[in-house]
Amino acid sequence: EDMTAADLVGRWLLDADGTRWHDGPLTLAARHGAICYLDEVVEARQDTTVVIHPLTDARRMLPLDRKGELVHAHPDFQLVVSYNPGYQSAAKDMKPSTRQRFAALEFDYPDATVETEIVAHEAGIDAALAAQLVGVAQGSRALRQQGLDEGISTRMLIYAGILIRDGVAPRNSCEMTLTRALTDDPDLVAALRQLVDAHFP
């Protein structure tokens, strides 16, 4: 939210030889045909995100008003943005005028078999233990309709698996990396502990 348009496109800066223009990451990508990736783009101020509009429609150009230059995007230039819909407040949703300039892809959690393989590989644990952790996660994701903001992520399962691999008891590992990392609500904590107990009797 502190990112300005100048952070993206560039600015004049002083150096040993005087004042010199420094391209920002968006300008560099547009000039040279790179991919510019903006993570959690809805966190940026709306006056900042509007600078991408002329790049993301048929014009494919970036006006550098402070420099008096118009950058025409390289044919290989791509802009990729990501965010978690519904995770932020409604005030931080993507503006329709910005959303309509992109082709959208939705990503969800992998299916249980794939997620088990990922957790086993990344945490260095066997598939049976990874499957138990994935079972806990799947149960937590069902609680999203009952007050939990976010279910247990694959990343969190990997953290839990690493702790277990390194000698921490499974329930203690799950308490530290899954249960307490998600919520402080006593009822939700109790529900998550029940899930852990069901998969690690």
Among 70, 99, 128, residue at a domain's last position = 99
Q: Is residue 106 part of a domain?
A: no
According to DSSP, the residues that pair with 82 across neighbouring strands are 39
126, 57: one domain: no
118, 89: one domain: no
Q: Which two tokens stand for residue 78?
A: 């791509």
Q: How many domains does the chain have?
A: 2
Q: Is residue 47 part of a domain?
A: yes
pLDDT single digits (tens) 158-193? 999 999 999 999 999 999 999 999 999 999 999 999
Residue-wise over 16-30: b if at least 16 C-beta within 10 A, else e?
eeeeeeebbebbbbb
Contact (CB, 8 A) for 127 and 116: yes
DSSP string, 126-162: -HHHHHHHHHHHHHHHHGGGGT-SSPPPHHHHHHHHH
pLDDT value for 91: 56
Please determine, for residue 90, whether its predicted confidence score (pLDDT) is greater than 70: no
Please determine, for residue 89, whether its predicted confidence score (pLDDT) is greater than 60: no
pLDDT single digits (tens) 133-153? 999 999 999 887 777 878 999
The one-letter code for the residue type at 111 is: D
22, 92: one domain: yes
84, 127: one domain: no
Q: Is residue 192 part of a domain?
A: yes
Contact (CB, 8 A) for 72 and 61: yes
92, 141: one domain: no
Q: Is residue 65 part of a domain?
A: yes
What residues make up the domain containing 156? 112-199
pLDDT value for 49: 86
Q: What is the maximal distance between C-alpha atoms in the chain?
A: 69
Among 99, 133, 168, residue at a domain's last position = 99
According to DSSP, the residues that pair with 22 across neighbouring strands are 11
- Name the 3-class secondary structure at 83: coil
149, 74: one domain: no
Query: Could you tell me the CATH number of the domain that includes residue 49?
Result: 3.40.50.300
**Alpha-carbon gap, residue 23 to 11, rounded angstroms:** 7
Among 99, 133, 163, residue at a domain's last position = 99
Closest to 9 in 3D by CA, of 30, 24, 31, 20: 24
Torsion angle of the four alpha carbons 77, 96, 69, 59, in this order, in degrees rounded to the nearest 10: 60
Q: Is residue 107 part of a domain?
A: no
94, 119: one domain: no
Please determine, for residue 88, whether its predicted confidence score (pLDDT) is greater than 80: no
**Alpha-carbon gap, residue 80 to 91, rounded angstroms:** 22
Q: Is residue 183 part of a domain?
A: yes
pLDDT single digits (tens) 28-42? 999 999 999 999 888
